[in-house]
Amino acid sequence: MEKFVQIKEKLSNAGLKATHPRMVVFNELMNSKDHPSAEHIHDRIKTDYPSISLGSVYRILDVLVDVKLVQRVSVRSGYKRYDANMEPHGHIYCLKTDAIQDFYDSELYDLINDFFRKKKLKNFKVKEIKLQVVGEKVDPEVDVTII
């Protein structure tokens, strides 16, 4: 119950009504570590909440992205995937398995931020930097090459 109080508060602080469908979808995403698609979220909630349609899940996720409670994660399969973890972090995406893994490296983000601060891009203000590493899991015995 405490979790739903926190979710309601986050939605309210973002200027949204804490509707039942929003709370259910946001809760499912907050409890997911696999960066699910809208379809995956719908599959997970439809048994307990059959009145929430796939279209509603998509609309809710779009609203949550717009108010910055959730972020989209790009993948090559074409699906939109979502992450409720809004802490600064990057993603590692596996082409073979379509898996997404979070990674944290404050030193790397400091380097990237310093790089852009020094470049002083003209007529452009950097608001966000997203880092995603794309590759494939390989046999541990194989030497790994970075492009």
DSSP character string of 10-34: HHHHTT----HHHHHHHHHHHT-SS
Whose structure tokens read 């979710």?
7
d(CA 29, CA 63): 14
pLDDT at 11: 96
Token pair, residue 109, equals 């983000």
Q: Copy the structure tokens of residue 34.
A: 């696999």
Per-residue pLDDT of the chain (147 residues; tens, 9 = 90+): 678 899 999 999 999 999 999 999 999 999 999 999 999 999 999 999 999 999 999 999 999 999 999 999 988 877 799 999 998 899 998 888 888 999 999 899 889 888 988 888 888 887 878 888 888 887 766 665 665
pTM for this one?
0.82
Q: Specify the residue for token string 């405490």.
A: 2
Please name each of the domains of the chain with its CATH number: 1-85 (1.10.10.10), 87-138 (3.30.1490.190)
C-alpha 46, offset from chain centre: 21
Token output for 19: 């509707």
